[in-house]
Amino acid sequence: MSSPAPIESYAELLKQGNLVVFPTETVYGLGASAWNPKAVQQIFKTKGRPGDNPLIVHISSIDMVKQFTDQVSGRARTLMQKFWPGPLTLVFPKKPGVLDAVTAGLDTVALRMPDHPIALQLIELAGPLVAPSANKSGRPSPTRAEHIRSDYGNSLPLIDGGECDLGLESTVIDMSVNPPVILRPGYITAKQIEEACGFHPEMATYSASDSSGPKSPGMKYTHYAPKAKVEWLSTEHITLLNASSDNSGSLIVLHSMDNPVNQPHKGLKVMHFNSDYRRLAHQLYDCFRKADFDKVKRIYIEPFNDELIKENQPVEALQNRISKATGSRSSQL
């Protein structure tokens, strides 16, 4: 089942406890009613998602916040007024009635107001929705409807809203602690947050040995990974690629440097983003999925230096997502 169909019909499916895939400005979400425990559990089953990985609740108005928390600071209100709707998730102390399945048993809940007309209308009709990225767990997040069909076929109701505008998941900031900390980087940067409300949030760290679970998606597990092996491009890789007469199955993704591999080399694919980091962010997951379709075995990505991470809006988020796809913490951090 996929669109076109009246959005009211999808809202009714959600009210009945079904799952619905819908677009946001970041990535497509796999939605379920935030108040239906069976539907929430079905998300974990459908995605193959670990039970200790909390979900983000998507809302359509600031008034909906009070359903989930009664502890909203002045800083949090400033961030909501500045960046909602938009790619910013805020973590609050939760009210007792919030489902443990939504929060992975934590005493906090993550809330976001997506900046997409379809998402907002759907939530207005169906109520607050939990909506993790609509991919099989660990796979690249979907930014096109065909990515959903690649993972699930036609087994899920799908609202096709075209290509997502941003292509990377939201920034997550923990407002339940003082000072607040960023749990997952995204398009909304620490610098923007500082300019909005006068404090500079640091990046939180998480170890798998921590006794409490992660407060945000994207902290604990390998995520965003294609079937191809993803690695940061190194001088050793360049030497090996230059020495080989057959680089079929290899893809190099460059953002600033010229192609360091002498041509011709049979089968080598090169993508160059010419310092357009927003375009790289927009296309990263689609690039990963196309690489799998083309049976690419190895993806080498040019690393980012510290200056790029500081000065270019989506680069810290790109650093985070690519590092997760490699299965490591980071090549720089």
Claim to verify: residue 300 and residue 199 sit in the same structural domain: no
Distances from the Cα of 93 to the Cα of 35, 63, 70, 185, 215, angstroms: 17, 16, 8, 20, 11
Which residue from 55, 30, 53, 124 is spatially nearest to 85, judged by alpha carbons? Answer: 124
Claim to verify: residue 116 and residue 196 sit in the same structural domain: yes
Instruction: Specify if 21 maps to a domain.
Output: yes
**pLDDT reading at 74 higher than 50:** yes
Claim to verify: residue 196 and residue 258 sit in the same structural domain: no
Min mean pLDDT across 101-110, 153-162, 164-173, 216-225 is at 216-225
**pLDDT reading at 333 higher than 90:** no
pLDDT at 259: 84
| Number of Cβ within a 10 Å radius of residue 332 | 14
pLDDT at 204: 82
Which tens digits make up the pLDDT trace of 213-225?
A: 666 665 555 567 8
Contact 151, 142 (CB under 8 A): yes
| Number of Cβ within a 10 Å radius of residue 267 | 14
Claim to verify: residue 245 and residue 180 sit in the same structural domain: no
- In angstroms, the CA 84 to CA 61 distance is 9
Range of the domain at 248: 229-326
Mean pLDDT of 236-263: 89
Claim to verify: residue 188 and residue 238 sit in the same structural domain: no
Q: Which residue has the higher pLDDT, 246 or 24?
A: 24
Mean pLDDT of 184-197: 93
Give the total number of structural domains in the chain.
2
Cross-strand bridge partners of residue 92: 109
Mean pLDDT of 169-180: 95
- In angstroms, the CA 180 to CA 209 distance is 22
Which tens digits make up the pLDDT trace of 255-283?
A: 998 888 876 667 899 999 999 999 999 99
Mean pLDDT of 181-199: 93
Task: State the residue for tokens 């998300």.
Answer: 43
Distances from the Cα of 177 to the Cα of 9, 52, 89, 229, 240, angstroms: 40, 20, 15, 37, 47
